[in-house]
A and B are shown apart, each in its own frame.
Chain A
């Protein structure tokens, strides 16, 4: 699949501080999660992709064009910025209408109304944004971005401040847009949210790309990290003693009610565990991988980058 956004050898520095360093990556249709701890360079990368900041080195193209040189591309590209900033004195409706007029869309008023409906903001649409909660502002910003019906949507921490119902609604909206073939890049430091939106993630640590791909692929590629598996059995101590001599088992921790097993290959352990348990006369009630979640993978990436 052709990448809609192409980032080539991109670096961005501010004086002596390097915010993004030699990043090369492509984003195609669908939702991609951009992950990283605070200060990892996510927002800077978003801003450079959006054309708000000039690359210090390297290049960015969206739909084959450099956004800084071709502002017409903004007909198809929109950003939901991280800041809470909105025009406090405008109503949500006026704000979205202004975005529609600046984007030169047909029937800006009707389009604004439909977009406000999409983000479930029609009720308070005629109230000033200054009186909105953080979550409502986020939805107004998303509406302003969506009003031009963009093919590429850059969302910087779009769920900040949204309540659980709003989050679920926005996540479902983003997934729907991604499924419809639009390119969405969603930055977040809340891993559970990203996990609910997409499988494909881009992780950044200290301004560099730490990993790209699905969570499972990234975890599989971390061969230097033992796989953690929780095992619950009828006799954890006896099973631990048997596992100690098993090839591929690196370490065992006896925890209350379960064993935490570190193995070089979790799949191999899962295959061999029933035989070992039968041999030891122990019944196994539960086997659960402990570090294949996005959070575990991300923690490894961050620790590895330090």
Chain B
């Protein structure tokens, strides 16, 4: 717990957080500009559609934030202060991912609050923005589980992560059904659509059937894989 709190606090710097909340709020801004003169029903549909298309800005913000969890410790030379403590490598991996998930969820709440303001500004029904909350929370968990280990394992992790988001999640998953099934953004979208927060998942969901259980199971698998990869790396790779 001490380690998770330390790692969380370390990456949540005010300047960085403001920048990343701004990046995560791109869909809210786009919605406000597009739905300014729309009828309430039309605005609700527009919100879901914009979120599904532009919500990757949140994924990029989570990437920038969560790859820093262990990478920043290593780059700054402070990793020995946490690595050389009587903490099992599993516990260290779990704490790191927990800190990443907490950071992603903090960003999700902030981005959602901005979208609530946008929804209220255009006069759409207040529950419209629930889509965003569910979507961001589910996606945040999945992305943190992938990006925290990525930050520790790969030197140019932001570049690699951007490649993953742009090429795999937004281009390839659009055309390859198999990839769509494991695309974190679409998993989050399917959960959001199933619980009814998003009644208009749009074309992005494609052949994927909305399902909360399936979505949560996929997120759990991603979490386990991320945890396993990070534990392996902490045990086997040089810490410096």
Seen from chain A, the residues whose Cβ lies within 8 Å of a Cβ on chain B are 47, 50-54, 68, 71-75, 77-79, 81, 83-87, 98-99, 101-104, 144
Contact = CB atoms under 8 A, between A and B. Distances in A.
A103 B80 contact: no
12 contacts: A52-B239, A52-B240, A72-B88, A74-B86, A74-B87, A78-B84, A79-B80, A85-B76, A98-B6, A99-B85, A102-B85, A144-B81
A52 B80 contact: yes
3 interchain residue pairs of minimum CB distance = A85-B77, A83-B77, A102-B85
Contacts of B79: 52
Interface of B: 2-3, 6, 10, 76-89, 235-240
A50 B86 CA distance: 13
B78 A86 contact: yes
A85 B240 CA distance: 13
Contacts, number: 65
B190 to A, nearest CB: 39
B78 A87 contact: yes
B8 to A, nearest CB: 13
A52 B6 CA distance: 20
Contacts of A52: 79-80, 83-84, 238-240
Given A72-B88, A85-B77, A99-B81, 5 more contacts: A51-B84, A52-B239, A81-B77, A87-B78, A102-B82
A102 B87 contact: yes
Contacts of A98: 2, 6, 81
Nearest to A97: B2
Nearest to B79: A52
A71 B77 contact: no
Contacts of B239: 51-53
B240 to A, nearest CB: 5
B92 to A, nearest CB: 8
A20 to B, nearest CB: 13
A85 B76 CA distance: 6
Contact of B85 (A83, A87, A103): A103
Contacts of A77: 84
A171 B237 CA distance: 34
A99 B87 CA distance: 12
Nearest to A98: B6
B86 A72 contact: yes
Nearest to B3: A102
A71 B236 CA distance: 13
Contact of B2 (A50, A102, A144): A102
Residue in B2, B77, B86 with the greatest tally of chain A CB atoms within 10 Å:
B86
B152 to A, nearest CB: 14
A53 B239 CA distance: 6
A54 B237 CA distance: 7
Contacts of B82: 102
Contact of B235 (A68, A81, A83, A103): A68
A253 B141 CA distance: 77
Contacts of B238: 52-54
Contacts of A78: 84
A107 to B, nearest CB: 15
